[in-house]
Chains A and B, each alone.
Chain A
Amino acid sequence: NAGVTQTPKFQVLKTGQSMTLQCAQDMNHNSMYWYRQDPGMGLRLIYYSASEGTTDKGEVPNGYNVSRLNKREFSLRLESAAPSQTSVYFCASSAGVNTGELFFGEGSRLTVL
Protein backbone atom coordinates (compact mmCIF):
# COMPACT_ATOMS: atom_id res chain seq x y z
CA ASN A 1 0.00 0.00 0.00
CA ALA A 2 1.47 3.34 -1.07
CA GLY A 3 -0.43 5.59 1.37
CA VAL A 4 0.95 9.12 1.01
CA THR A 5 3.67 9.64 -1.56
CA GLN A 6 5.82 12.77 -1.75
CA THR A 7 8.28 13.81 -4.43
CA PRO A 8 11.06 14.70 -4.53
CA LYS A 9 12.65 13.28 -1.38
CA PHE A 10 15.64 15.59 -1.56
CA GLN A 11 16.18 18.92 -3.30
CA VAL A 12 18.80 21.64 -3.21
CA LEU A 13 17.84 25.08 -4.48
CA LYS A 14 19.54 28.41 -4.82
CA THR A 15 17.95 31.48 -3.29
CA GLY A 16 15.28 32.83 -5.62
CA GLN A 17 14.63 29.60 -7.47
CA SER A 18 11.17 28.08 -7.55
CA MET A 19 10.01 24.53 -7.09
CA THR A 20 6.94 22.43 -6.43
CA LEU A 21 6.60 19.59 -3.97
CA GLN A 22 4.13 16.97 -5.08
CA CYS A 23 1.94 14.85 -2.84
CA ALA A 24 -0.53 12.12 -3.67
CA GLN A 25 -2.63 9.84 -1.47
CA ASP A 26 -4.47 6.68 -2.44
CA MET A 27 -6.73 6.33 0.62
CA ASN A 28 -9.64 8.36 -0.76
CA HIS A 29 -9.13 10.93 2.00
CA ASN A 30 -10.92 14.25 1.89
CA SER A 31 -8.36 16.36 3.75
CA MET A 32 -4.71 16.99 2.98
CA TYR A 33 -1.99 19.01 4.68
CA TRP A 34 1.49 20.40 4.29
CA TYR A 35 3.69 20.72 7.37
CA ARG A 36 7.27 21.78 7.82
CA GLN A 37 9.53 20.35 10.52
CA ASP A 38 12.44 22.27 11.93
CA PRO A 39 14.66 21.34 14.90
CA GLY A 40 13.10 22.42 18.18
CA MET A 41 9.98 23.76 16.44
CA GLY A 42 7.94 20.62 16.03
CA LEU A 43 5.57 20.45 13.07
CA ARG A 44 4.05 23.65 11.83
CA LEU A 45 1.11 23.70 9.47
CA ILE A 46 1.71 25.61 6.24
CA TYR A 47 -1.56 25.05 4.36
CA TYR A 48 -4.33 22.53 4.36
CA SER A 49 -7.21 21.48 2.21
CA ALA A 50 -10.26 20.33 4.13
CA SER A 51 -11.86 18.97 0.97
CA GLU A 52 -11.36 19.04 -2.77
CA GLY A 53 -11.72 22.57 -4.03
CA THR A 54 -10.80 24.31 -0.77
CA THR A 55 -7.52 25.47 0.73
CA ASP A 56 -6.76 27.36 3.92
CA LYS A 57 -3.73 28.94 5.50
CA GLY A 58 -2.08 27.35 8.46
CA GLU A 59 0.38 28.77 10.95
CA VAL A 60 3.24 29.62 8.54
CA PRO A 61 1.86 30.22 5.00
CA ASN A 62 4.11 33.10 3.91
CA GLY A 63 6.28 32.27 0.93
CA TYR A 64 4.20 29.27 -0.12
CA ASN A 65 1.27 28.51 -2.38
CA VAL A 66 -0.75 25.34 -2.70
CA SER A 67 -2.99 23.66 -5.23
CA ARG A 68 -5.49 20.92 -4.55
CA LEU A 69 -5.34 19.46 -8.03
CA ASN A 70 -7.96 16.78 -7.38
CA LYS A 71 -8.99 14.58 -4.45
CA ARG A 72 -5.72 12.65 -4.59
CA GLU A 73 -3.14 15.38 -5.12
CA PHE A 74 -2.03 18.42 -3.15
CA SER A 75 1.04 20.37 -4.24
CA LEU A 76 3.15 22.95 -2.42
CA ARG A 77 4.97 25.63 -4.40
CA LEU A 78 7.83 27.86 -3.38
CA GLU A 79 7.83 30.78 -5.83
CA SER A 80 11.11 32.34 -4.72
CA ALA A 81 12.99 30.14 -2.30
CA ALA A 82 14.75 31.65 0.71
CA PRO A 83 17.28 30.07 3.10
CA SER A 84 14.62 30.27 5.86
CA GLN A 85 12.64 27.70 3.90
CA THR A 86 15.34 25.09 4.41
CA SER A 87 13.37 22.38 6.19
CA VAL A 88 11.84 18.95 6.00
CA TYR A 89 8.38 19.08 4.49
CA PHE A 90 5.69 16.54 5.23
CA CYS A 91 2.47 15.95 3.40
CA ALA A 92 -0.34 14.26 5.30
CA SER A 93 -3.92 13.23 4.69
CA SER A 94 -6.95 12.30 6.75
CA ALA A 95 -10.54 11.27 6.21
CA GLY A 96 -11.65 14.65 7.57
CA VAL A 97 -10.05 17.64 9.26
CA ASN A 98 -11.25 16.71 12.74
CA THR A 99 -11.05 12.93 12.53
CA GLY A 100 -7.60 13.11 14.01
CA GLU A 101 -5.65 10.32 12.41
CA LEU A 102 -3.25 11.83 9.95
CA PHE A 103 -1.29 9.64 7.57
CA PHE A 104 2.10 11.08 6.71
CA GLY A 105 4.44 10.79 3.78
CA GLU A 106 8.11 10.12 4.33
CA GLY A 107 9.11 13.74 3.97
CA SER A 108 10.98 15.93 1.50
CA ARG A 109 14.26 17.46 2.63
CA LEU A 110 14.77 20.86 1.05
CA THR A 111 17.95 22.91 1.30
CA VAL A 112 18.05 26.48 0.05
CA LEU A 113 21.53 27.92 -0.41
Chain B
Amino acid sequence: AQSVTQLGSHVSVSEGALVLLRCNYSSSVPPYLFWYVQYPNQGLQLLLKYTSAATLVKGINGFEAEFKKSETSFHLTKPSAHMSDAAEYFCAVSRSGNTPLVFGKGTRLSVIA
Protein backbone atom coordinates (compact mmCIF):
# COMPACT_ATOMS: atom_id res chain seq x y z
CA ALA B 1 0.00 0.00 0.00
CA GLN B 2 1.19 3.45 -0.75
CA SER B 3 1.90 5.86 2.07
CA VAL B 4 3.50 9.19 2.72
CA THR B 5 5.54 10.33 5.72
CA GLN B 6 6.04 13.94 6.67
CA LEU B 7 9.00 14.49 8.94
CA GLY B 8 8.22 16.99 11.67
CA SER B 9 4.72 17.86 12.79
CA HIS B 10 5.77 21.45 13.47
CA VAL B 11 8.46 23.57 11.82
CA SER B 12 9.30 27.08 12.93
CA VAL B 13 11.36 29.52 10.84
CA SER B 14 12.22 33.17 10.98
CA GLU B 15 10.78 35.54 8.42
CA GLY B 16 13.15 35.63 5.44
CA ALA B 17 14.68 32.24 6.22
CA LEU B 18 14.59 29.11 4.06
CA VAL B 19 11.53 26.91 4.40
CA LEU B 20 12.10 23.15 4.09
CA LEU B 21 9.24 20.72 4.69
CA ARG B 22 10.08 17.06 4.27
CA CYS B 23 8.03 14.35 2.61
CA ASN B 24 8.95 10.75 1.84
CA TYR B 25 6.70 8.34 0.04
CA SER B 26 6.48 4.62 -0.41
CA SER B 27 5.01 3.37 -3.60
CA SER B 28 5.57 0.32 -5.69
CA VAL B 29 4.92 2.24 -8.88
CA PRO B 30 5.90 5.75 -9.97
CA PRO B 31 3.57 8.02 -8.05
CA TYR B 32 1.82 11.28 -8.54
CA LEU B 33 2.86 13.57 -5.68
CA PHE B 34 1.22 16.68 -4.32
CA TRP B 35 1.57 19.39 -1.74
CA TYR B 36 -1.51 21.04 -0.33
CA VAL B 37 -1.74 24.02 2.03
CA GLN B 38 -4.41 24.69 4.65
CA TYR B 39 -4.79 28.15 6.12
CA PRO B 40 -6.58 28.46 9.48
CA ASN B 41 -10.26 27.56 9.36
CA GLN B 42 -10.16 26.80 5.65
CA GLY B 43 -10.14 23.77 3.42
CA LEU B 44 -7.02 22.54 1.64
CA GLN B 45 -5.83 24.02 -1.63
CA LEU B 46 -3.32 22.68 -4.12
CA LEU B 47 0.17 24.16 -3.87
CA LEU B 48 1.89 22.06 -6.54
CA LYS B 49 1.92 18.61 -8.11
CA TYR B 50 4.41 16.23 -9.69
CA THR B 51 3.21 14.03 -12.52
CA SER B 52 6.56 12.92 -14.04
CA ALA B 53 6.95 15.76 -16.53
CA ALA B 54 9.81 17.42 -14.62
CA THR B 55 11.54 16.60 -11.35
CA LEU B 56 11.54 20.21 -10.12
CA VAL B 57 8.03 21.49 -9.75
CA LYS B 58 7.13 25.11 -9.15
CA GLY B 59 3.95 26.01 -7.33
CA ILE B 60 2.09 29.02 -6.10
CA ASN B 61 3.43 31.62 -3.67
CA GLY B 62 7.09 30.91 -4.49
CA PHE B 63 7.10 27.29 -3.31
CA GLU B 64 8.77 24.49 -5.21
CA ALA B 65 9.45 20.80 -4.68
CA GLU B 66 11.93 18.36 -6.13
CA PHE B 67 11.12 14.73 -6.87
CA LYS B 68 14.06 12.45 -6.03
CA LYS B 69 13.30 8.88 -6.95
CA SER B 70 16.51 7.51 -5.42
CA GLU B 71 15.56 9.01 -2.06
CA THR B 72 11.77 8.50 -2.48
CA SER B 73 11.42 12.12 -1.42
CA PHE B 74 9.41 15.15 -2.46
CA HIS B 75 10.51 17.93 -0.14
CA LEU B 76 8.89 21.38 -0.29
CA THR B 77 11.05 24.49 -0.20
CA LYS B 78 10.77 28.26 -0.34
CA PRO B 79 13.87 30.47 -0.31
CA SER B 80 12.45 33.18 1.93
CA ALA B 81 9.59 32.70 4.40
CA HIS B 82 6.86 35.28 4.71
CA MET B 83 4.47 35.72 7.60
CA SER B 84 1.60 34.77 5.28
CA ASP B 85 3.16 31.31 4.77
CA ALA B 86 2.12 30.26 8.26
CA ALA B 87 -0.25 27.34 7.64
CA GLU B 88 -0.43 23.57 7.68
CA TYR B 89 1.10 21.74 4.75
CA PHE B 90 0.15 18.28 3.56
CA CYS B 91 2.02 15.96 1.24
CA ALA B 92 -0.11 13.47 -0.69
CA VAL B 93 0.52 10.56 -3.04
CA SER B 94 -1.50 8.72 -5.64
CA ARG B 95 -0.64 5.99 -8.06
CA SER B 96 -1.98 6.02 -11.55
CA GLY B 97 -5.28 4.24 -11.70
CA ASN B 98 -8.48 4.72 -9.83
CA THR B 99 -7.11 5.25 -6.33
CA PRO B 100 -7.72 8.36 -4.23
CA LEU B 101 -4.98 10.47 -2.73
CA VAL B 102 -3.35 9.37 0.51
CA PHE B 103 -2.36 12.30 2.71
CA GLY B 104 0.46 12.64 5.19
CA LYS B 105 -0.25 13.80 8.72
CA GLY B 106 0.70 17.37 7.96
CA THR B 107 3.39 19.83 9.05
CA ARG B 108 2.43 23.06 10.73
CA LEU B 109 4.67 25.92 9.65
CA SER B 110 5.13 28.87 11.98
CA VAL B 111 6.91 32.01 10.79
CA ILE B 112 8.51 34.21 13.44
CA ALA B 113 8.95 37.92 12.87
Interface residues of chain A, those whose CB is within 8 Å of chain B, are: 4, 31, 33, 35, 40-45, 48, 50, 58, 90, 92, 97-98, 100-102, 104-107
Whether B34 is near chain A, meaning CB under 8 Å from some CB there, is yes
Given contacts A102-B46, A106-B42, A106-B43, contact A42 B103 (CB under 8 A): yes
Could you write out 26 A-B pairs with CB less than 8 Å apart? A4-B43, A41-B105, A42-B103, A42-B105, A42-B106, A43-B90, A44-B103, A45-B100, A48-B100, A50-B98, A58-B100, A90-B43, A90-B44, A92-B44, A98-B32, A98-B94, A98-B96, A98-B98, A100-B46, A100-B51, A100-B94, A100-B101, A101-B34, A102-B44, A104-B45, A105-B43
Given contacts A43-B90, A45-B100, contact A101 B46 (CB under 8 A): yes
Pairwise interchain contact A97-B99, C-beta atoms closer than 8 A: yes
Contacts of B99 in A (CB 8 A): 97-98
**Chain A, Cβ-Cβ closest to B32:** A100
In whole angstroms, what is the CA distance A31 to B34 when docked? 18
**Chain B, Cβ-Cβ closest to A109:** B41
In whole angstroms, what is the CA distance A40 to B49 when docked? 23
Pairwise interchain contact B100-A100, C-beta atoms closer than 8 A: no
Please report whether the interface of chain B is mostly helix, strand, loop or mixed according to DSSP. loop
In whole angstroms, what is the CA distance A102 to B47 when docked? 11
Of B34, B90, B97, which is within 8 A of A42 by CB? B90
In whole angstroms, what is the CA distance A43 to B104 when docked? 7
Q: Which of B9-44 contact A (CB under 8 A)?
A: 9, 32, 34, 36, 41-44
Interface string of B82-100 (1 = CB under 8 A from A): 0000000010001111111
Of B36, B43, B103, which is within 8 A of A107 by CB? B43
Contacts of B45 in A (CB 8 A): 104
Given contacts A100-B51, A104-B43, contact A42 B100 (CB under 8 A): no
